[in-house]
Amino acid sequence: MPVQASATGQRCSTGELHRSHRPFSSSHTCSQRACLHSTHQRKSSSRNCRHSHIQTQCVAPNTQSVGRRVVGSVATAAFLTWALRSASAKSMKPSEVQRRSKEDENAIFENRDGEVHHTVAEWKSLLSPGQYRVLRESGTELPLSSPLDHEKRAGTYKCAGCGSPVYQSSTKFDSGTGWPSFFQPISGGVDETIDRSIPFLPRTEIRCHKCKGHLGHVFDDGPAPTGKRYCMNGVAMTFTPQQT
Q: Which residues are catalytic, by number?
A: 231
| Residue 148 C-alpha from the chain's centroid | 32
**Which class for 203: exposed (0-12), middle (13-18), buried (19 or more C-beta within 10 A)?**
middle
Length of the chain: 244
Q: Count other C-beta atoms under 10 Å from residue 221's C-beta.
A: 9
Instruction: Say how far apart CA 99 and CA 109 lie, in whole Å.
Output: 16
Q: Which residues of 39-51 are buried (b: 16+ CB within 10 A; e: fewer)?
A: eeeeeeeeeebeb
Alpha helical stretches, state H, the chain: 63-92, 102-108, 120-126, 129-135
Q: Are 59 and 168 in contact (CB under 8 A)?
A: no
C-beta pairs of 124-130 under 8 Å, 24+ apart in sequence: 126/161, 127/160, 127/161, 128/235, 130/235
